[in-house]
Amino acid sequence: MDKHLNIKEWDEDDRPREKLLAQGSGVLTDAELLAILLRSGNNGETAVELAKRILHSVNHNLYELGKVDISFLTKHFKGVGQTKAVTILAALELGRRRSLSEPSHTVEITTSRHIFQHIAPRLADLSQEEFWVLLLNRANKIIDQRRLTIGGTGRTIVEIPSILKIAIEKPAAKIVVCHNHPSGNYQPSQNDITLTNKLNNACKLLEITFIDHVIVAGSSYYSFADAGLL
């Protein structure tokens, strides 16, 4: 009968911690990184096997893992107590904050992908809608960003004069607006389309360039500019 090996009995090159020390964190899989946080598995699973099962429960999507709570982890996974659950959630939050730590003035926006990569860490895993405006200079670099509204799981109410007031006071030569769809459906609603059209017309009157409206839905997004609607 095959013996179930724990991680300490693995070849040293296959152990996550030793692998990280020897080759760097970039070579580790998500499961191996998560196993390091877990430190140990349970009577029937190694830490890596347990980590793989946790990731499988969220379809191997780290955005979705960031949405789970402590009770979900402790209830569904043997060997995960409150301390391990807290460690996992703290690590995910630290990763999210690291993504946000780049100074805004160094970010140059030339494509919708740039917008998504910049704003997704703030919006992708939220359970409620938020609406943001990014303020840019003539060189397409972000000079400021503001959260305008926080809503429920449906839609937020955004005042166009509020957006324009912020742009004028900064002052900003160009703007981008972004919001998220907690439902995971990135397609714009009729309200999204109406707001975008009204804001585009208002920006033209004030000679402010309206670059894009990006809707974030988890790891996907919708760009009004890419769709030819601006």
Best CA proximity match to 42, nearest among 1, 96, 15, 6: 6
Q: Tell me if 160 is assigned to some domain.
A: yes
Asked if 33 and 120 sit in the same domain, the reply is no
Q: Around Cβ 113, how many Cβ atoms within 10 Å? A: 13
Last residue of a domain, one of 100, 126, 161: 100
Q: Give the range of the structural domain holding residue 49, as residue numbers without chain letter.
A: 7-100
pLDDT digits (tens, 9 = 90+) for 11-59: 544 578 888 888 888 888 999 999 999 988 898 888 899 999 999 999 9
Single residue among 100, 117, 132 that ends a domain in this structure: 100
- Do residues 110 and 82 both lie within one domain? no
For the chain, what is the domain count?
2
Q: In the 8-state DSSP scheme, what is residue 15?
A: S
Does any domain span residue 52? yes
Q: How far apart are CA 167 and CA 40, in angstroms?
A: 51
Instruction: Give the domain-ending residue among 55, 79, 100.
Output: 100
Can you say whether residue 126 is alpha, beta or left, with left for phi > 0 and alpha for psi between -120 and 50 degrees? beta
Per residue in 70-128, pLDDT (tens digit) is: 999 999 999 999 999 999 999 988 887 776 665 555 678 899 999 999 999 889 888 88
pLDDT tens for 144-193 read: 999 998 875 455 578 899 999 999 999 999 999 999 999 989 999 999 99
Q: Give a yes or no: residue 86 inside a domain.
A: yes
Same domain, yes or no: 79 and 127: no
**Residue of 133, 132, 208 whose CA lies nearest to 173:** 208
- Residue 75 CB-half CA count within 13 A: 6
| Alpha helix stretches (DSSP H) within 126-210 | 160-169, 190-206
* Beta strands at 142-150 and 174-180: parallel, antiparallel or unpaired: unpaired
Alpha carbons within 13 angstroms on the beta-carbon side of residue 202 total 16
Task: Give the start-end residues of each E strand in 38-193.
Answer: 130-136, 142-150, 174-180
Do 119 and 25 lie in a common domain? no
